[in-house]
């Protein structure tokens, strides 16, 4: 016999339906008659007359009985069970085509893709019930899964496609039923409002995010500018310190050359006391003054050295001249004496020849 509520086949003599729990009391004869009228084993039959039910029909084509029952609930329970079974397979899914060096993130991504595809097949293939009540129940069940906020669900496209299928079946089943048609229209309108509201929320969120991002960028820019400025100042300071160290080393070398009286090389080296950086104009002026001061001192020392050398040379020339004059005077006296002796000898010889 068959259940008078859902049309499921029940065991002979059963007092309650094994599928929906409805009472089967008083249906013995009718149930038997329905069982005898079954034309195809396992095919769903009308609970009123036992005639086979065409797939997708919401009412019996023989007697006009409108189907109602728990098929949708059974389908939903089966759907949940199938989806839960897929989730339970997650840890046992072995990644194929990935190397042994794949990261845990790559493996999890592979498993997510496998689960998404399996769920898509279940969602796409689960049957739509014939009863108008169960069709409406299924519409209401899928509706939350196709709102805009559910787009982050990997199977959103599959739920959306199924919802369109079930909604089309519901419109066909409730054609002419003003109340049900209005309810379906209200469901669609609600989805559209949620889409619009979600879009507005997204725009507000993006706008607020842009403002926040702009504020963050400005703050980051200010912080970055300050950090960059501090870094630049630090680099300038380091460069100036290095330049001062270089110039002070040159000054020390020049002072050493002055101390050992190597004035010519000191004057040449002092010309290198020049600030070479673009930054620090005050330091450039200070080292220019120091260079001129040191060079002036060197020139004074060179002038004094040259004067001392000239004086020394004059003294030496005077001494040499004096010595030369003395020698010349001695030579003159010797020559004069020799000439006097010669004259006396000549006079004596002359007198001797005439006497």
The rounded distance, in Å, linking the Cα atoms of 302 and 242 is 32
pLDDT at 203: 56
Q: And the tokens for 120?
A: 């898509």
- So what's the pLDDT on residue 290? 92
Residues 6 or more apart in contact with residue 144 via CB below 8 angstroms: 150
Quick check: 144 and 72 in contact, CB under 8 A?
no
Q: Report DSSP letters for 198-255, one per residue.
A: HHHHHHHHHHHHHHHHHHHHHHHHHHHHHHHHHHHHHHHHHHHHHHHHHHHHHHHHHH
The list of the chain residues with pLDDT below 50 reads 28-43, 54-56, 70-72
- Tell me what pLDDT residue 333 has: 92
Q: What Rg value do the Cα atoms of the chain yield, rounded?
A: 61
Backbone φ and ψ for 11, nearest 5 degrees, come out as -70, 145
Using CA atoms, how far apart are residues 186 and 248, in angstroms rounded to an integer? 89
Compute the distance between CA of residue 252 and CA of residue 272 in angstroms, rounded to an integer. Answer: 12
Give the pLDDT score at 207. 58
Q: Which residues contact 95 (CB under 8 A, 6 or more apart)?
A: 102, 106, 107, 110, 111
What is the model's pLDDT at position 143? 80
| pLDDT for the residue numbered 259 | 92
**How far apart, in Å, are the Cα atoms of 355 and each of 63, 330, 345, 348?**
210, 37, 15, 11
pLDDT tens per residue, range 54-71: 444 556 667 766 655 544
Domains in the chain: boundaries: 1-68, 70-175
Non-local (6+) Cβ contacts of 52 within 8 A are 38, 39, 40, 43, 44, 45, 46
- Longest CA–CA separation in the chain, Å: 218
Q: Sign (positive/negative) of CA torsion 331, 336, 337, 341?
A: positive
Is residue 294 classed exposed, middle or buried when 0-12, 13-18 and 19+ CB atoms within 10 A define those classes? buried
Calpha distance 183→163 (Å, rounded): 15
The pLDDT of residue 311 is 93
């Amino acid at each position: 016999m068959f259940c008078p509520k859902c049309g499921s086949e029940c065991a002979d003599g059963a007092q309650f339906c094994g599928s929906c729990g409805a009472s089967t009391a008083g249906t013995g004869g009718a149930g038997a008659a329905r069982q005898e009228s079954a034309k195809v084993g396992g095919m769903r039959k009308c609970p009123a007359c036992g005639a086979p039910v065409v797939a997708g029909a919401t009412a019996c084509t023989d007697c006009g009985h409108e189907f109602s029952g728990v098929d949708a609930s059974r389908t939903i329970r089966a759907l949940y069970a199938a989806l839960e079974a897929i989730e339970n397979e997650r840890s046992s899914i072995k990644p194929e085509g990935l190397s042994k060096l794949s990261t845990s993130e790559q493996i999890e991504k592979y498993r997510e893709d496998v689960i998404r595809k399996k769920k898509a097949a279940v969602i796409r293939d689960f049957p739509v019930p014939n009863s108008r009540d169960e069709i409406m129940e299924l519409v209401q069940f899928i509706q939350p899964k196709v709102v805009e906020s559910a787009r982050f669900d990997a199977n959103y496209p599959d739920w959306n496609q199924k919802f369109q299928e079930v909604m089309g079946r519901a419109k066909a089943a409730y054609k002419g039923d003003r109340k049900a048609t209005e309810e379906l229209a209200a469901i669609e309108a609600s989805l559209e409002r949620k889409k619009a509201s979600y879009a507005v929320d997204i725009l507000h969120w993006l706008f607020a995010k842009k403002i926040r991002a702009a504020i963050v960028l400005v703050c980051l820019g200010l912080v970055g500018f300050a950090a960059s400025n501090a870094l630049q100042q630090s680099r300038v300071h380091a460069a100036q310190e290095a330049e001062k160290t270089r110039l002070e080393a040159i000054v020390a070398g020049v002072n050493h050359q002055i101390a050992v009286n190597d004035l010519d090389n000191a004057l040449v080296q002092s010309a290198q006391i020049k600030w070479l950086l673009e930054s620090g104009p005050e330091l450039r002026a200070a080292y220019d003054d120091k260079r001129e001061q040191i060079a002036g001192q060197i020139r004074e020392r060179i002038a004094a050295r040259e004067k001392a050398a000239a004086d020394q040379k004059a003294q030496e020339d005077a001494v040499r001249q004096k010595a030369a004059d003395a020698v010349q005077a001695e030579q003159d006296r010797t020559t004069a004496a020799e000439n006097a002796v010669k004259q006396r000898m000549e006079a004596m010889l002359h007198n001797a020849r005439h006497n």
